[in-house]
Amino acid sequence: MLLAPPPILEVYYAPSCAPCRLELPAVAEFASQDGARVRIVIVSEEPRARADLKNASPRLTEDAIAGREPTPRAILRAVGDRDGILPYARSIASDGRVCAQWRGRLTFATAQKLVAACARFLTLPPSRRS
């Protein structure tokens, strides 16, 4: 039996967002856990953002990508943050479904809860998933 890859904790980041900068140590701690998968989506000021991520943990820069929309607000709205306001994070199951979303400063415990929310996609038969 093949095991599905663990869920991804996807964190949206901009250097101009003070709560985003404050949550970087918690994100780095979560990323250091065995089997943890983290993706940082940079929504603005990419060079500065990459420097911030590197200072928090070189691992975070490995998993960072630039957002594809023209503005930070458009990036956030495109992924489900209807108000387009940072800080924002979500967890994504191996099948691509969003398991849970979080607005506000992310802590290590909250990151764990977001990823744990994906367990329901592993335990429910496909016809019962919502």
Q: In the chain, what are the domains? A: 8-124 (3.40.30.10)
Residues of the chain falling short of pLDDT 50: 124, 129-130
**Distance from C-alpha of 26 to C-alpha of 109, rounded to nearest angstrom:** 9
Report which secondary-structure segment, H or E, holds 102: strand 98-103
pLDDT of res. 37: 95
Element counts in the chain: helices (H) and strands (E): 6, 5
pLDDT of residue 120: 76
Query: What is the pLDDT, as a whole number, of residue 88?
Result: 97
Phi, psi of 126 (to 5 degrees): -50, -35
**pLDDT value at position 4?**
76
Question: If we measure between CA atoms, which residue out of 1, 53, 62, 50 comes closest to residue 27?
Answer: 53
Residue 109 is encoded by which pair of tokens? 């415990």
